[in-house]
């Protein structure tokens, strides 16, 4: 399996090359040259890890079977608190919640970012690379800590995470500022997530910056979902969940995905491209409904104010993986390059809406709060605000048949919002809120939370965009 840039067929890479590069030299994103069509019914008795091995074997063709087995064994083990890795919780006979937050940072990013460092290790062996890697990551809340957790203490890897100052939850920020490894560091940056993402992408294409790193035997890459090594692991849980959810293979199953940067829902669309019998793939947006409007009209317009919501991981206006989705629909690199140029220069572009095959809807903040309260009253189940966006979207659409709600974060990560939705009085501090939520849930605190409170967070590292390179120099110098 080879990989091409979304913007030009001139850039061809093997799986290991694409994973290590992160982004193509022309600024495009690596995509597989094809998607094999499969009858997944033969996988119905396989465990999560077995499905991961089979899927990786299809796309990581320059990795040996032994290397793939090592990646899977290291990535999905005791670092997840349940042997199912991504368990299902049924609300009713037709609605299941796919819990993607049983990893070390309590968010769905763990499913990919516990895997990506191990893919890096094997890719470096394949490519016979001994240089160190600098991994730059922009985050709207969850990717940052998941990347830091995955790469923490990894020899030869330095991780710099940039998150919008006052644009993540206090719990997410505490997670990123609490680390015991010097090779990973988080920085609060002035601006919003799109500003962080734009700065990271620009730096990854800065020829002089790359040359200075090369002089020090350091290569640059990313742990964001622009890296194909992030997307492939995300496909695993859709295959596993489908086989666990339907009564018989071939039954339709709709999936509802809370979306910001489009990577999570694109993984579902890739699975459908391979023949997984998914019915409707439904994008659930929060008040920053640029994606919903695009899917409804074909007009992508990021020229608007980014709203801060109670689902901060979705507070994004420019979704990187939209580029991969549009490439999947058209296969036209020149056209995609023109669209991305228009988005960069004008903040908008138009696309033939008749080609778009994702459904969508959006939820207001009031609807998020109401949904959290309603689901708790009706089912005794507690949602985080991102999952509440998806549950509202499922109930507000014309979706029929069995559906899968993709739950992207533990309610503990957003305790204040959850408690407010449940009309509870609660303390002002994070720890007090979490302990109060624990009483409602009636379950032991997850181990990552106990570990988090046992460590003291670092002081916040605050940056203006012009200070990014200096911050990176400091990180390199300390390691």
> Residues 121-177: pLDDT tens digits?
999 999 999 899 999 888 877 888 889 999 998 888 999 999 999 888 888 899 999
Active-site residue identified among 9, 74, 109, 272 = 109
Count the Cβ atoms, other than its own, within 10 Å of residue 44. Answer: 13
What digits encode the pLDDT tens for the residues 239-296? 999 999 999 999 999 999 999 999 999 999 999 999 999 999 999 999 999 999 999 9
The pLDDT, as a whole number, for residue 349 is: 98
What is the mean predicted confidence (pLDDT) over 325-343? 97
Rounded CA gap, 232 and 390, in Å? Answer: 22
- CATH architecture group of domain 88-104+232-444: 3-Layer(aba) Sandwich (3.40)
**What are the tens digits of pLDDT across the range 34-45?**
999 999 999 999
Asked whether 367 and 392 are in contact (CB, 8 A), the reply is yes
DSSP E strands, 291-350: 299-301, 348-350
Average pLDDT over residues 27-53: 97
Q: Tell the burial category of 111 from Cβ atoms under 10 Å away from its Cβ (0-12, 13-18, 19+).
A: buried
**401: confidence class by pLDDT, cuts 50, 70, 90:** confident
Integer Cα distance of 451 and 446 in angstroms? 9
pLDDT value at 400 more than 90:
no
pLDDT value for 356: 98
Task: Give percent of the chain above pLDDT 90.
Answer: 78
Per-residue pLDDT, 289: 96
Q: What is the pLDDT of residue 280?
A: 96
Does the pLDDT of residue 418 top 90, yes or no?
yes
Other CB atoms within 10 Å distance of the CB of residue 456: 7
Instruction: Give CA separation, 420 vs 35, 65, 380, 427, in Å.
Output: 45, 49, 16, 11
Residue 364: its pLDDT value, please?
97
pLDDT for residue 398 is more than 90? no
pLDDT at 396 over 80: no
Q: Indicate the Cα dihedral angle 260, 265, 267, 270, nearest 10°.
A: -130
109 is catalytic: yes
Given a cut of 90, whether residue 9 has pLDDT beyond it is: no
- Tell whether the model's pLDDT for residue 477 goes beyond 90: no
Q: Which residues on neighbouring strands pair with residue 349, listed in sequence order? A: 300
pTM listed for this prediction: 0.94
Residue 337 has pLDDT above 80, yes or no: yes
Q: Look at 405 and 468; give whichever has higher pLDDT.
A: 405
pLDDT score at 93: 94
> Tokens 């690379």 correspond to what residue?
129
Q: Do 20 and 123 contact (CB within 8 A), yes or no? A: yes
Q: What is the pLDDT of residues 77-90, one digit of tens each?
A: 999 999 999 999 99
Query: Which is nearest to 342 in space by CA: 318, 370, 316?
Result: 318
pLDDT band for position 388 (50/70/90)?
A: very high
pLDDT tens digits for range 193-241: 888 888 888 888 888 999 999 999 999 888 888 899 999 999 999 999 9
Q: What is the pLDDT of residue 168?
A: 87
What pLDDT is recorded for position 204? 82
User: Cα–Cα distance between 107 and 101 in angstroms, integer?
Assistant: 4
Measured between alpha carbons, how far apart are the two ends of the chain, in Å? Answer: 36
Is 20:129 a contact under the CB 8 Å cutoff? yes
Q: Mean of the per-residue pLDDT values for the chain?
A: 94
Q: How many helices (H) and strands (E) does the chain have?
A: 20, 16
Sign of the CA dihedral with 86 first, then 92, 95, and 101 last: negative
Other Cβ atoms within 10 Å of 432 Cβ, number: 12
pLDDT band at 466; cut points 50, 70, 90: confident
Q: Is the pLDDT of residue 397 over 80?
A: no
Q: How far is CA 232 from CA 149, 227, 262, 333, 409, in A?
A: 19, 9, 14, 21, 20
Residue 124: the pLDDT is 95
Sorting pLDDT into bands at 50, 70 and 90, what band is 352?
A: very high
């Amino acid at each position: 399996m080879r990989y091409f840039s979304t913007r030009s067929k001139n850039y061809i890479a093997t799986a290991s090359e694409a994973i290590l590069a992160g982004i193509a030299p022309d600024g495009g994103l690596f995509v597989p040259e094809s998607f094999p069509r499969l009858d997944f019914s033969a996988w119905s008795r396989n465990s999560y890890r077995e499905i991961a091995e089979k899927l990786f074997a299809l796309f990581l063709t320059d990795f040996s079977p032994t290397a793939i087995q090592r990646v899977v064994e290291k990535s999905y083990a005791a670092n997840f608190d349940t042997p199912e890795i991504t368990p299902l919780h049924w609300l009713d006979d037709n609605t299941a919640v796919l819990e993607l937050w049983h990893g070390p940072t309590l968010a769905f990013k763990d499913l990919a970012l516990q895997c990506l460092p191990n893919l890096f290790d094997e890719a470096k062996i394949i490519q016979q690379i001994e240089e160190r890697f600098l991994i730059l990551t922009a985050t709207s809340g969850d990717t940052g800590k998941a990347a830091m957790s995955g790469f923490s203490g990894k020899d030869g890897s330095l991780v710099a995470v940039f998150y919008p100052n006052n644009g993540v939850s206090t719990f997410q920020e505490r997670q990123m500022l609490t680390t015991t490894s010097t090779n990973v560091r988080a920085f609060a940056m002035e601006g919003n997530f799109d500003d962080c993402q734009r700065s990271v992408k620009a730096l990854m294409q800065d020829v002089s910056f790359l040359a200075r790193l090369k002089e020090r035997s350091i290569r640059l890459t990313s742990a964001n979902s622009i890296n194909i090594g992030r997307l492939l692991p995300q496909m695993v849980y859709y295959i596993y969940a489908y086989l666990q959810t339907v009564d018989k293979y071939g039954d339709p199953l709709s999936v509802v995905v809370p979306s910001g940067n489009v990577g999570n829902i694109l993984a579902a669309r890739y699975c459908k491209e391979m023949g997984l019998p998914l019915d409707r793939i439904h994008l659930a947006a929060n008040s920053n409904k640029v994606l919903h409007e695009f899917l409804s009209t074909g007009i992508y317009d990021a020229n608007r104010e980014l709203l801060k919501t109670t689902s901060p991981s979705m507070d994004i206006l420019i979704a990187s993986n939209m580029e991969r989705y549009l490439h999947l629909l058209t296969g036209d690199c020149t056209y995609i390059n023109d669209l991305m140029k228009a988005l960069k220069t004008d903040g908008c572009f138009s696309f033939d809406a008749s080609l778009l095959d994702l459904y969508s809807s959006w939820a207001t903040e009031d609807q998020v709060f109401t949904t959290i309260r309603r689901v708790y009253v009706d089912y005794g189940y507690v949602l985080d605000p991102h999952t509440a966006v998806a549950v509202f979207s499922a109930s507000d659409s014309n979706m029929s048949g069995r559906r899968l709600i993709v739950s992207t974060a533990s309610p503990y990560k957003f305790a204040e919002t959850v408690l407010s939705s449940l009309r509870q009085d609660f303390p002002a501090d994070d720890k007090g809120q979490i302990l109060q939520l624990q009483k409602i849930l009636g379950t032991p605190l997850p181990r990552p939370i106990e570990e988090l409170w046992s460590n003291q967070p670092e002081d916040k590292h605050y940056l203006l965009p012009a200070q990014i390179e200096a911050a990176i120099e400091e990180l390199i110098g300390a390691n």
